[in-house]
Amino acid sequence: MEYKKDGRDILLYQQDFDLDETLDCGQAFRWQRDNTQKNVTYVGAYLNVPLTISQEGEGVFRLKDTDEETFRSVWYEYFDLATDYGEIKRQLSEDCTMAKACGYAGGIRLLRQDSWEALCSFIISQNNNIPRIKGIIGRLCEHFGGFPPYERLADLSPEDLAFLRAGFRAKYIIDAAKKLRSGEVDLEKIKREPIECAQKDLMKICGVGPKVAQCALLYGVHRTEAFPVDVWIKRVLEMWYPLGLPECCEGIEGIAQQYLFHYIRTGK
DNA sequence: TTCCAGGCGTATC
DNA sequence: GATACGCATGGA
């Protein structure tokens, strides 16, 4: 990873990074592609710090209107730039199916998202499709002027959230907000405790089952050993890994899952 | 019209 | 503990 200032922008040189593969692969739902630009460009935010980022070539990125301090304190972490994904892919590629998946979409990185936003997003994701998930989260952020902290949702009723058109999920969002505010579920504790306990804690929230809990752990607190199993990954396991994942995935099952998810959905 | 979407709660056995 | 079914909404 290297970077330099370029006027008001940061120019970033980073291998194993592709904007479409990372920002539009179903791990984050708040990035919007700006198709009016010449280069692949996304507009989004992390912790309500806005960003426009474009890819100017293989491994070359422009973070618009970004100073060095914001880059180092916010985006360096968010895009997980301290992690060597080339090394991860080499490890995973001991397995030949994994090697194909890594080769198919090798520019995926596991974003270090906000824990509450990730939990809430994957509550919304259940029995839903990606365009509609984005729509609901978009309306949520538009209404509250950024992603609302759980404190702002905890005392609302499902009727108050009718504008989201989230259906039966609205009451789940509110239950999550209530349990985070009361401390019954503690995301700081969930970062540290053994993964089975963390899953059990998250499942105290009504509307959080095993799949949503694993997503919250993987995408929200970067527990790379979390392994969300949805309908797509179920197909992967049936087809290629009926006896479970190979040993080279140990500890990074969640990252393997990212490559496999993209591979089975859009590859062949 | 019917089916499906990065599941889960509930009822029933 | 396993399995069947309903669930809000909207696009194909």
Q: Which nucleotides of B are covered by protein (CB under 7 A)?
A: 4-9
Give the CATH number of the domain where residue A183 resides. 1.10.340.30
Residues in chain A: 268
In a domain, A92, yes or no: no
Question: Between the CA of A122 and the C1' of B6, what is the distance in angstroms?
Answer: 8
Give the pLDDT score at A268.
60
Residue A58: domain span:
2-82
In a domain, A232, yes or no: no
- The reply to whether A213 Cβ lies less than 7 angstroms from strand B is yes
Segment A204-248, tens digit of pLDDT: 999 999 999 999 999 999 999 999 999 889 989 989 999 999 999
Segment A17-30, tens digit of pLDDT: 999 999 999 999 99
Give the CATH number of the domain where residue A76 resides. 3.30.310.260
In a domain, A156, yes or no: yes
In a domain, A210, yes or no: yes
In a domain, A241, yes or no: no
* Domain end call among A204, A220, A236: A220
**Sequence-separated (6 or more) residues with CB below 8 Å from residue A160:** none
Question: Between the CA of A129 and the C1' of B1, what is the distance in angstroms?
Answer: 21
* CB burial string A182-221: b at 16+ within 10 A, e below: eeebebeebeeeeeeebbebbeebebbeebbbbbbbbbbb
